[in-house]
Structure 1
Amino acid sequence: MAKQSIFGRITQLAKANINALLDSAEDPQKMMDQMVRDYNDNIAEAEQAIAQTIGNLRMIEDDYKEDEQAAADWGNKALAASNKADEFRTAGNAADAAKFDNLAKVAIQRQMQSESEMKTAEPTIASQREIVEKLKTGLNQMKEKRTELTSKRDELIARSKAAHAQNQVNEAVKAVNIMDPSSEIGRFEEKVRREEARVRGAAELASSSLDAQFESLEDLGEQTEVEARLAALKAKQTGQIEG
């Protein structure tokens, strides 16, 4: 009954629909971690049970081989005793012939007993072998499911970490949105813009001063030319008078 119970548990776990279990789980990662632990515990228990079942099977097989060897030995003894009885009978020794005939009968009875024990053990051996094979198959299925479950757990953890990292990136990007005037970059950009405006204002002021200076130079040049022409005019007049 215990063997059958363990086999039933192995079969149930091996056929478990992992995806369906994960869909209904509030925390799939924790559930899968627990499932992996459960699988490991049940696999260890199943391996012990299978080892015990195999050990029992080997004991029955050893007994069967002993009965088989005993049957062969008693058969040889029966043949030897019968041959010896024939020798005494041929020699006219009826008493010894009868004695060895009786020994041959005892050997045959022992042979038949061993063969009977073998026949009785055969169904048990066959049944135990079938159970062992089923247990081995169920155990292999459990190990395959454990591998699948472990792979899914690792995949889920990786995806969860990736999603968490992506969320952190999104939050960081949101925090430094250059279009958001409340962000650090927004404030820094405004400061730079004010500095640029100040520089442009200073440049414009400097340019205005230079234009004024050049205009003064132009006015001075014009006045100089006027005075030069006036001097030339006076010189011309003086020359005419003297002439």
Structure 2
Amino acid sequence: MTKQSIFGRISQLVRANVNSLIDQAEDPQLMLDQMVRDYTSSIADAEAAIAETIGNLRLLEDDHREDVDAAASWGNKALAASRKADEYRASGDTVDADKFDNLAKVALSRQISAENEAKAAEPQIAAQTDVVEKLKAGLNGMKEKLTQLQNKRAELVARAKTAEAQRQVQEAVKSIDFLDPTSEVSRFEQKIRREEAKVRGAAELAASSLDAQFNELDDLGELTEVDARLAALKSGGTPGAITG
């Protein structure tokens, strides 16, 4: 019963479609890890069951071989006893002849019994041999499927790492777009331009103040000349250019 259960389990696992199972899984990598563990455990169970089945088959074969050898041995003994009986009968010793004929019959009876046992074991040996071959084929299929799972897992892990790297790059790009360094440069440039404008404004203001001061000096010079001419008029002079 245990052997049949193991055989059914092997067949079910070998028939399993890896890609279909992965597609149905929420987390393919975890699914594959679990499948690898299950397959590894099942392979170990299958190997133990197959080893036991092979051991039982070898015992049957050993017993069959012993029965065949025993049948041959009893046949030889029957032949030897029959020949001995013939010798005694030829010499006129019927008592010993009958004795060895009886021994020949006993040997022949045991030969028949051994042959029957050997013959009865042959169908069981054939069936057990067929089971062993199927179990071996199933085990090989499981090992191939395990290799497929392991390769699939390695591929999936690599793809997951690549996807994670791409996600990080995309997030970095989004972060750059959100905090565009060129916009920061523009902001600093505008700030510097405003400071430069302030400096120019201050310079223009300073220049305007100087011009005003010089204009005041010019106005003062004009007033002084007017006063001088006024004084000349009062002293009886003529209003004209004052010479030095």
- TM-score class, shorter: 0.7 to 0.9
**Separation (CA, whole Å) in 2 of partners of 1:76 and 1:26:** 73
- Counterpart of 1:133 in structure 2 is 133
Displacement of 1:157 = 1.1
**Separation (CA, whole Å) in 2 of partners of 1:132 and 1:16:** 22
Displacement of 1:184 = 6.1
Larger radius of gyration: 2
Moved over 6 A (4+): 198-201
Displacement of 1:187 = 5.2
Matched, 1:190 2:189: no
User: Which amino acid in the other structure matches residue 157 of structure 2?
Assistant: I
Matched, 1:151 2:151: yes
- Counterpart of 2:7 in structure 1 is 7
- Counterpart of 1:165 in structure 2 is 165
Displacement of 1:20 = 1.6
Displacement of 1:193 = 3.2
User: Which amino acid in the other structure matches residue 190 of structure 1?
Assistant: S
State, as a whole percentage, how many aligned pairs show the same letter: 60
**Separation (CA, whole Å) in 1 of partners of 2:140 and 2:192:** 75
User: Which amino acid in the other structure matches residue 106 of structure 1?
Assistant: V
User: Which amino acid in the other structure matches residue 181 of structure 2?
Assistant: I
- Alignment partner of 1:52: what SS? helix
- Counterpart of 1:214 in structure 2 is none
**Separation (CA, whole Å) in 2 of partners of 1:104 and 1:11:** 53
**Separation (CA, whole Å) in 2 of partners of 1:163 and 1:84:** 92
Deviations 1:119-154 (A, max 9, x none): 110010000000001111111111111111111111
- Alignment partner of 2:26: what SS? coil
**Separation (CA, whole Å) in 2 of partners of 1:159 and 1:72:** 68
**Separation (CA, whole Å) in 1 of partners of 2:70 and 2:161:** 69
What is the aligned-residue RMSD (CA, Å)? 2.4
- Counterpart of 2:48 in structure 1 is 48
Q: Which runs of 5+ in 2 are unaligned?
A: 201-244
Deviations 1:89-129 (A, max 9, x none): 11110000000000111111111110000011001000000
User: Which amino acid in the other structure matches residue 172 of structure 1?
Assistant: A
Between the two proteins, the alignment pairs up a number of residues equal to 202
Please say which of residues 9-18 and 144-153 is displaced more in the overlay.
144-153
**Separation (CA, whole Å) in 2 of partners of 1:115 and 1:197:** 116
User: Which amino acid in the other structure matches residue 115 of structure 1?
Assistant: E
User: Which amino acid in the other structure matches residue 4 of structure 1?
Assistant: Q
**Separation (CA, whole Å) in 2 of partners of 1:84 and 1:199:** 138
User: Which amino acid in the other structure matches residue 71 of structure 1?
Assistant: A
Displacement of 1:21 = 1.3
Displacement of 1:194 = 4.8
**Separation (CA, whole Å) in 1 of partners of 2:113 and 2:158:** 67
Matched, 1:77 2:77: yes
User: Which amino acid in the other structure matches residue 170 of structure 1?
Assistant: Q
**Separation (CA, whole Å) in 1 of partners of 2:64 and 2:174:** 79
Matched, 1:109 2:105: no
- Alignment partner of 2:9: what SS? helix
Deviations 1:150-172 (A, max 9, x none): 11111111111110111101111
**Separation (CA, whole Å) in 1 of partners of 2:174 and 2:20:** 37
**Separation (CA, whole Å) in 1 of partners of 2:193 and 2:155:** 55
Matched, 1:39 2:39: yes
